[in-house]
Amino acid sequence: MSRDEHNISRKDISDNALKVLYRLNKGGYDAYLVGGGVRDILLGEHPKDFDIATNATPEQIKKLFRNCRLIGRRFRLAHIVFGRDIIEVATFRGHHGSDNASKQSAKQHHSKQSEHGMLLRDNIYGTIEEDAERRDFTINALYYSTKDFKVYDFANGLDDIKKRKIRLIGDPETRYREDPVRMLRAIRFATKLDMEIARDTATPIRELAPLMANIPAARMFEEYMKLFLSGKAQANFDLLAEYHLLEYLFPHISKDYAKDPNSLSVQFVRQVLINTDNRINDGKRVTPAFLLAAVLWYEIEQQIQQLQEKSLMPPQDAFFVAMTQVLQEQQRSIAIPKRFQLPMKDIFALQHRLTRREGNRAFKTLEHPRFRAGYDFLLYRGKVEGGELAQLAHWWTTFQDATPDTQQQMIKSFKTTRKRRRSPRKRSQTVAKD
């Protein structure tokens, strides 16, 4: 597509991405803006990331840019660093079966696959045409050149943009086996771009879903961040469940969903998903810890009950044992960094502390650095469960905004209510002793 046939302008591209494109071209290399940056501009969106593809090798890129660092074992990439802004540059990928690829692989060990067909190492370099065929979806095989201002479409991606279809390039089963995370990406792009997954791309997903078990837990955390912290968490949750992929991210809630999509635990997670989407779409901050805590809460409560029934374990001990056990189980699917584990544990612990309001306990709880997260968590639980939990959440809603005098009255009133509830029990115990 020539300049007058598309809507992409250099004004839509970040200054740093343009610097990289210009310097690569000046150095004698071909360089293109590629993938999501091109796709999103064509759709009238504002890209967050600008990725570049080139025929320069990672080592050649590094020679051109002092601010370059090479990363990755599986895919060798160049990151050009401009303060907080990072422009990712990838060398054109080649085919594994080509003569050139075979020579590279045999000589330099640049390519390696697992027994399931998953690519473990993939540094085979090729032409722009080969690179386009190696990309995952047709809508991502679009290239924009700052040399001639043309858009190059190698896989009918423009047609799929018009049809609003997410379609894999090549044989879907082979492409999913090469990288099972593509199943998650298909869902994420469908919800992000308000598109539909093409039938041939969607059909193998349920059958091949078990391949997700081979993905490292650390990489799954990265996918969790993209799926659930982008403003489309609720839609992604439903599609993941529909395609039998939810269990590879959240094994506990997946079991509850399979038994009853309207169970208390699933309703609670839905409340948090809605809140997460609303906050992100309003430009507010969210923490990955809050949703992860919501996903695990009812499993922790269930295991606490089982521990107390089987071993008569004190409530506090049962809580810590259950929390540790459930977190360890979740870590096998998603490697949760320690910086998020501590906030999760605080949110869990605050659920018990928020029930204790006598004396100065309410004021001490109010001063807890994560009180707001614990209170919000309680609020959503109250919306789902109702009853005493909803009353407790209402009490804290009133208490935290009340004047000091009103807060003292609320605590006194709470004490009086507790005494009145205990007195009939004491009288009955006295009669029993007599």
What pLDDT sits at residue 312?
Answer: 80
Question: Each residue of 12-28: pLDDT tens digit?
Answer: 999 999 999 999 999 99
How much is the average pLDDT of 151-174? Answer: 96
**Six token digits for residue 129:** 């045409």
**51 is known as an active-site residue:** yes
Residue 144 lies in a domain: yes
Q: Which residue has the higher pLDDT, 313 or 167?
A: 167
- Does 434 have pLDDT greater than 80? no
What pLDDT sits at residue 116?
Answer: 52
Residue 297 lies in a domain: no
Q: What proportion of the chain, given as a percentage, has pLDDT over 90? A: 78
How crowded is residue 289: how many other Cβ atoms within 10 Å of its Cβ? 21
Q: Which domain holds residue 158?
A: 1-92+127-163
Residue 134 lies in a domain: yes
What pLDDT sits at residue 28?
Answer: 95
**49 is known as an active-site residue:** yes
Residues 6+ apart with CB under 8 A from 15: none
- Does 252 have pLDDT greater than 70? yes
Residue 83 lies in a domain: yes
Helices and strands in the chain: count of H runs, count of E runs: 21, 11
Q: Which residue has the higher pLDDT, 117 or 221?
A: 221
What's 135's domain CATH number? Answer: 3.30.460.10
Residue 257 lies in a domain: no
Tally of structural domains, the chain: 1
Question: Each residue of 329-353: pLDDT tens digit?
Answer: 999 999 999 999 999 999 999 999 9
What pLDDT sits at residue 104?
Answer: 44
Residue 72 lies in a domain: yes
What pLDDT sits at residue 311?
Answer: 83
Amino acid 11 reads K
- Does 232 have pLDDT greater than 90? yes
What pLDDT sits at residue 97?
Answer: 55
Residue 19 lies in a domain: yes
Question: Each residue of 128-157: pLDDT tens digit?
Answer: 999 999 899 999 999 999 999 999 999 999
Catalytic: which of 12, 40, 122, 136?
A: 136
Catalytic: which of 12, 40, 51, 153?
A: 51
- Does 107 have pLDDT greater than 60? no
Residues 6+ apart with CB under 8 A from 100: 94, 126
- Does 112 have pLDDT greater than 60? no
Q: Which residue has the higher pLDDT, 117 or 296?
A: 296
Cα separation, 360 vs 152, in Å, equals 68
Render 159-196 in DSSP notation, one character per residue.
HHHHHTEE-BSS-HHHHHHH-THHHHHHHHHHHHTT-E
Lowest mean pLDDT among 85-99, 132-146, 154-168, 299-313: 85-99
How much is the average pLDDT of 235-263? Answer: 96
Q: Which helix (H) or strand (E) holds 152?
A: strand 151-153
- Does 70 have pLDDT greater than 70? yes
49 and 89 Cβ atoms separated by less than 8 Å: no
CA distances from 141 to 62, 117, 132, 158, 304 (A): 25, 22, 5, 9, 51
Question: Each residue of 375-416: pLDDT tens digit?
Answer: 999 999 999 999 999 999 999 999 999 999 998 988 888 765
What pLDDT sits at residue 432?
Answer: 45
Residue 228 lies in a domain: no
How much is the average pLDDT of 408-431? Answer: 58
How much is the average pLDDT of 362-386? Answer: 95
Reported as a pLDDT band with limits 50, 70 and 90, residue 117 is very low
